[in-house]
Amino acid sequence: MIISGKNSVYEALNSGKTLNKVMIAKNVNDDFSKKIVNLCKQNKVRFDFVDRLSLDKLSSHNQGYVAEVTDFNYCNLEDILNNKKGENNFIVILDNIQDPHNFGSIIRVCECSGVDGIIIENRRSCSVNETVYKTSCGAINYVKIAKVTNINDVIKSLQKQNIWVYACEANGENIFKSNLKGNIAIVVGSEGEGVGTLTKKLCDGIISLPMKGNVNSLNVSTATSAIVYEILRQRNN
């Protein structure tokens, strides 16, 4: 897999992720490029200085940095649960999020807010790709992501382990009046379809952001940000 851009390449190196090779534009010679070279040396990663045209063929928005990385290493549900071992679990489940920009933005929010992990479905979600890497601004290197066969089965499993699962949809309980402390997982659906009907029925409740303007919905990554940080706010009070 190819990743590109200053932040993506830096965070991949800084996190210790396995990189096959880093390519740096020949005309780049500043403190940041020296930092990248030093990280390559520390991590024993091969690096080459190449012409900008070669980088542009690999990625059109590379900022002078491109890296070849191994495919993303998905975890399993147990890896996410072991973060907290039954105390204050905080999980985000994505239902049919297909847009890689939204996926990358959600990953970034989850990393910044301390979410234990993200769960996606094999068939109905965007997989980790170059766009997801770049949009996450390196956060993907620090977030556990589990790819599962069926999120409804996962929801049932979480509930058996005393984790409350809430669907994030319109016409639910006002999130600012909901008690979102303790073990919790939220399910976020696509902008077009929302959370699936059966999935909503399985959830312990539905929570909603109040809408005060003329537009009745938010971008899914923006909505996820607001919800995740309200949960974080409640936990810190």
Q: What is the domain partition of the chain in residue ranges?
A: 2-69, 77-235
Handedness of CA 220, 226, 231, 232 (dihedral sign): positive
Local confidence pLDDT in tens for the 237 residues of the chain: 888 888 889 988 988 777 889 999 998 888 999 999 999 999 899 999 999 999 999 888 889 999 998 888 899 999 999 866 557 899 999 999 999 999 999 999 999 999 999 999 988 788 898 889 889 988 998 999 999 999 999 999 999 999 999 999 988 999 999 999 999 999 999 877 889 999 999 999 999 998 887 776 788 999 999 999 999 999 888
On whether the CB atoms of residues 97 and 126 are closer than 8 A, the answer is yes
pLDDT in tens, 157-194: 999 999 999 999 988 999 999 999 999 999 999 877 88
Residues in the chain: 237
- Which has the closest alpha carbon to 9: 143, 25, 103? 25
Say what the pLDDT of residue 86 is: 57
Domain 77-235 in the same topology as domain 2-69 = no
Per-residue model confidence (pLDDT) at position 193: 82
How would CATH label the architecture of 2-69?
Answer: 2-Layer Sandwich (3.30)
- Between CA 51 and CA 48 the distance in angstroms is 10
What confidence score (pLDDT) does residue 84 get?
Answer: 66
CA-atom Rg of the chain in angstroms: 19
- Residue that the structure tokens 């399993």 belong to: 76
Tokens of 84: 């907290």
Contacts for 187-190: CB closer than 8 Å, 24+ residues apart: 187/93, 187/94, 187/95, 187/151, 187/155, 188/92, 188/93, 188/94, 188/95, 188/97, 188/106, 188/220, 188/223, 188/224, 188/227, 189/95, 189/96, 189/97, 189/220, 190/95, 190/96, 190/97, 190/98, 190/220
- Residue 157 phi, psi dihedral angles, 5° rounding: -65, -40
Query: What CATH number was assigned to the domain covering residues 77-235?
Result: 3.40.1280.10
Strands (DSSP E) found in the chain: 2-4, 19-25, 47-50, 65-69, 90-95, 117-121, 145-148, 164-174, 184-189, 205-208
Crossing angle (nearest 10°) for helices 6-14 and 31-43: 30
Mean pLDDT, the chain, as a whole number? 90
pLDDT at 85: 58
